Structure 1
Amino acid sequence: MHIVVNAAMSADGKLSSRRREQIAISGEADFARVDRLRADSDAVVVGVGTVLADDPRLTVKDETLCERRLERGESKQPARVVVDSNARTPEDAAILDDAATTYVCLSDGAPVDRRMDLAAHAELLTAGDERVDLLRAFAALQQQGLERIMVEGGGELIFSLFEAGLVDELSVYVGAKIIGGRDAPTLADGDGFVADFPLLSLESVERLDDGVLLVWSVDDR
């Protein structure tokens, strides 16, 4: 399994404002790049916080890219995955539509009634007691044949993936905008590291739109 974390952040490292509202950070060239990255993935993953804040569909927009997936013998759209320990994903969330298969990763502590509601719209994977055990959850995704994984946020999930040693590549678009705010989400939130910091190797730098695309590989863990 190869896991790529992809994100767009402001020049001061914020994913959105302190109100958790979606803010346009990149432009058309980066949107097209993200669409290609999705099309090359078996699954696109987000945390439930991103679902609640942005209600994304996480589908490939370019029909030509969809056709190429079909020509390769793949589904028209990559699978979608929500990491949602307590089953907070709304039943009417865009990510639960019928455009693609959706998996919701839950913990054992998720309420039974919410499980039943979500089971009508998604494939449920249970891993972990009170929080999703990411190692077990991603192993279960791999058993479903999902090898090329794209993670699109948010900061809590990204930190947890780095903490679990699951990230292989980090791709970040840095936009020409300052958002600020001590409570605004950053690329990697969570508890933060105080030792054994994950180390990266810079693979490429590309000017894109009014910002820059940075691609790192994660050093062997």
Structure 2
Amino acid sequence: MHVLVNAAMSADGKLSTRRREQLKISGADDFARVDRLRAKTDAIVVGVGTVLADDPSLVRFDREHRDSIGKDGVPTRVVVDSTGRTPLDGAVCSDDAPTVLLSSDALSKARRDAYESAGVTVLTAGTDRVELSAGFTALERTGIEHCFVEGGGELIFSLLEAGLVDRLTTYFGPLVIGGRDAPTLADGNGFVDAFPSLSLESIERLDDGVVISWAVESIASP
């Protein structure tokens, strides 16, 4: 499986304000770039924190581009949610696209039954929280070969820590958000003794900011 992480952030590396309020960081050209990336993928992946903060539908993509490269249907929506906090009436559970809840054994039977009754496919991996390596293997068994991860910072950190990210693209926009409690690209516990090794692929000026693309090679000691 190939996993691409994409994020838009401020010049100081923040995804949103300390209030977790969604901000417009990039412009029309970057939105179009992201829509093309979504069109190429099999699944769009977010963490439950993003679902609770933004209520995204995850159905926006460049349909014309998807048709031109011969991909059928629409990308599957995947929510990484260990205990079932995703609202059943949330946009991500609509019938606009297939939805997979990647959860753990901590998900109650009643909650699982409710999701499945709503048409959501539930995959479990891990005891108390989602074990991402096993979870993404389960996704791959369903036919998903390319994943596009949109956040948030906790999920992105965990994927990097598990060595599951192949490529990282970041858009840096022309604003400073600040705040020690504002979310960043990779939250979680942070790396201390070993760090993801990145190889620079390209830098592109877009809108009033820049897009930087990296290949993620490994986690290595400094």
Query: Which band: TM-score by shorter chain?
Result: over 0.9
Q: Summarize the alignment of residues 22-37 of structure 1 with structure 2, pairs less than 5 Å apart.
A: 22-37=22-37
The answer on whether the counterparts of 1:60 and 1:66 sit within 8 Å (CA) in structure 2 is no
The match for 2:217 is 219
The match for 2:112 is 115
Structure 1 SS opposite 2:195 = coil
Q: Classify 1:67/1:42 alpha carbon distance in 2 versus 1 (closer, same or farther; 3 Å).
A: same
- The alpha carbon displacement at 1:220 in A equals 4.0
The match for 2:57 is 57
The answer on whether the counterparts of 1:203 and 1:215 sit within 8 Å (CA) in structure 2 is yes
Q: Summarize the alignment of residues 6-45 of structure 1 with structure 2, pairs less than 5 Å apart.
A: 6-45=6-45
Question: Given the alignment, which residue of 88, 92, 95 partners 2:92?
Answer: 95
2: CA distance between counterparts of 1:188 and 1:42? 23
The answer on whether the counterparts of 1:2 and 1:147 sit within 8 Å (CA) in structure 2 is yes
Question: Given the alignment, which residue of 155, 158, 171 partners 1:157?
Answer: 155
Question: Given the alignment, which residue of 88, 93, 101 partners 1:104?
Answer: 101
- The alpha carbon displacement at 1:103 in A equals 0.4
Residue deviations 1:60-96, cap 9 Å, x none? 3444235436xx2521x11110000010000011111
1: CA distance between counterparts of 2:6 and 2:210? 13
Letter in 1 for 2:140: Q
- The alpha carbon displacement at 1:41 in A equals 0.3
The answer on whether the counterparts of 2:26 and 2:207 sit within 8 Å (CA) in structure 1 is yes
- The alpha carbon displacement at 1:164 in A equals 0.3
- The alpha carbon displacement at 1:118 in A equals 1.2
Count of aligned residue pairs for this structure pair: 218
Q: Which range is displaced more, 77-86 or 56-65?
A: 56-65
- The alpha carbon displacement at 1:106 in A equals 0.8
The answer on whether the counterparts of 2:78 and 2:101 sit within 8 Å (CA) in structure 1 is yes
- The alpha carbon displacement at 1:9 in A equals 0.5
Structure 2 SS opposite 1:199 = strand
> Structure 2: which 5+ residue stretches go unaligned?
none
Structure 2 SS opposite 1:116 = helix
- Poorly superposed stretches of 4+, deviation over 6 Å: none
- The alpha carbon displacement at 1:195 in A equals 1.0
1:181 is aligned to 2:179:
yes
Question: Given the alignment, which residue of 33, 56, 79 partners 2:76?
Answer: 79
- The alpha carbon displacement at 1:14 in A equals 0.4
Q: Classify 1:62/1:205 alpha carbon distance in 2 versus 1 (closer, same or farther; 3 Å).
A: same
The match for 2:166 is 168
The match for 1:46 is 46
2: CA distance between counterparts of 1:73 and 1:29? 23
Structure 2 SS opposite 1:4 = strand
Question: Given the alignment, which residue of 195, 198, 201 partners 1:200?
Answer: 198
2: CA distance between counterparts of 1:114 and 1:88? 9
* TM-score when normalising by structure 2: 0.95
Q: CA RMSD in A?
A: 1.2
The match for 1:210 is 208
> Structure 1: which 5+ residue stretches go unaligned?
none
